[in-house]
Structure 1
């Protein structure tokens, strides 16, 4: 029903953002909410409306290609909106697509909620059908030149942990990457990206 919304970001939480459009606040679930920041400058967010018997939810993306990839993932049996968001939050679509093309089930099962059966279904349903997503999809989101400073526990660090839990990662998985994160002094968005990269290794 909706293609996109243009408005200002009024709130950022570990699970969603709130965008004000003409005095109405829209709750929008996104792969990594902390990519956005509270800003009075209007931005365009591509929207996907998901409807089921007990829920109507809006999912938002930076680009149309990201939205397209999300919709394709939803077509795979065993992957719901939450699982698709976790895959998109990884931020490196080329690796996901390469894993599908190369039938790398080991890589795909590292995503929350993706077991061997679902990974195999992803390959069967999407192999050879995602090339059109790659050129337009924003490239590597991970900053390889991370700031080399010893970090103290911060609000940004705690927000990042909450966002990882919201994506479906267990406390045990998060605990494994926490020591490495504590050595960094990053924004919430950067903490999430670094953590996701380590979780996928």
Structure 2
């Protein structure tokens, strides 16, 4: 089974990245393919190799933590790989794990594809199985009232810092935020805002 791939980004779409590994293009479905848009040189994508009767699919992640949480999520009845990808696209491992520990149904049901029954099943099945995943999110006040205004502690502020770490400049981020701000919703997580921003940045 494939555990990780190292190569260069050959192509990006909304749902997947094509990774060129020594001349072979691997289509890898990711929570946020555009996170790899600014990467220069070889990248490492941690893989979940999913085999079913009619397809062999690769799901990829920027960190081991995302890979581990994905594998826990797909063990929950009613959560398939696509829904698990949506969960990781809508919240960081820290946010998702903390919500499960805190039995925060409100947060979980805001994630794509998750209704109340599935959220309850996630808590029941995973609450005692997530040690070591998302530990950075175990902080007081993680689920304070979300805000999308720019500034320290805001969801956009968190997304902005992550984008700066990818190499984007303040000028680029100010420009893209001015385009996004009018449509931003209070319940959009930093990951959702980051994904929208990357799509706009990648499109120019």
**For the Cα contact (< 8 Å) 1:4–1:45, is it kept in 2?**
yes
Q: Which residue of 2 aligns with 1:144?
A: 157
**For the Cα contact (< 8 Å) 1:7–1:43, is it kept in 2?**
yes
Q: Matched residue of 1:49: which SS?
A: strand
- Give, in whole Å, the separation in 1 of the partners of 2:18 and 2:197: 21
Displacement after TM superposition at 1:43 (Å): 1.3
Displacement after TM superposition at 1:121 (Å): 0.8
- Give, in whole Å, the separation in 2 of the partners of 1:111 and 1:180: 16
Displacement after TM superposition at 1:192 (Å): 2.6
Residue in structure 1 matching 2:184, options 180, 185, 196: 180
Q: Which residue of 2 aligns with 1:117?
A: 117
Displacement after TM superposition at 1:9 (Å): 0.4
Q: Matched residue of 1:76: which SS?
A: coil
**For the Cα contact (< 8 Å) 1:32–1:189, is it kept in 2?**
no
- Give, in whole Å, the separation in 1 of the partners of 2:75 and 2:67: 13
Displacement after TM superposition at 1:90 (Å): 2.4
Q: Which residue of 2 aligns with 1:105?
A: 105
Greater relative CO (CA pairs within 8 A, separation 6+): 1
Q: Which residue of 1 aligns with 2:16?
A: 16
Q: 1:63 to 1:136 in 2, by over 3 A?
A: farther
Q: 1:191 to 1:83 in 2, by over 3 A?
A: closer
**For the Cα contact (< 8 Å) 2:34–2:195, is it kept in 1?**
no
TM-score (norm 1): 0.70
**For the Cα contact (< 8 Å) 2:35–2:195, is it kept in 1?**
no
In the TM superposition, 1:36-115 aligns within 5 A as 36-37=36-37, 41-115=41-115
Q: Matched residue of 1:41: which SS?
A: coil
Q: 1:99 to 1:36 in 2, by over 3 A?
A: same
TM-score (norm 2): 0.69
- Give, in whole Å, the separation in 2 of the partners of 1:109 and 1:79: 13
Matched, 1:192 2:192: no
Q: 1:101 to 1:193 in 2, by over 3 A?
A: farther
Q: How far does the alpha carbon of each residue in 1:132-169 deviate from its partner, in whole angstroms, 9 at most, with x for none?
A: 112489xx9x55175455745xxxx7xxxxxxxxxxxx
- Runs (5+) with no aligned partner, structure 1: 158-176, 182-187, 195-201
Q: 1:56 to 1:151 in 2, by over 3 A?
A: same
Let me know the Cα RMSD of the aligned residues: 2.9
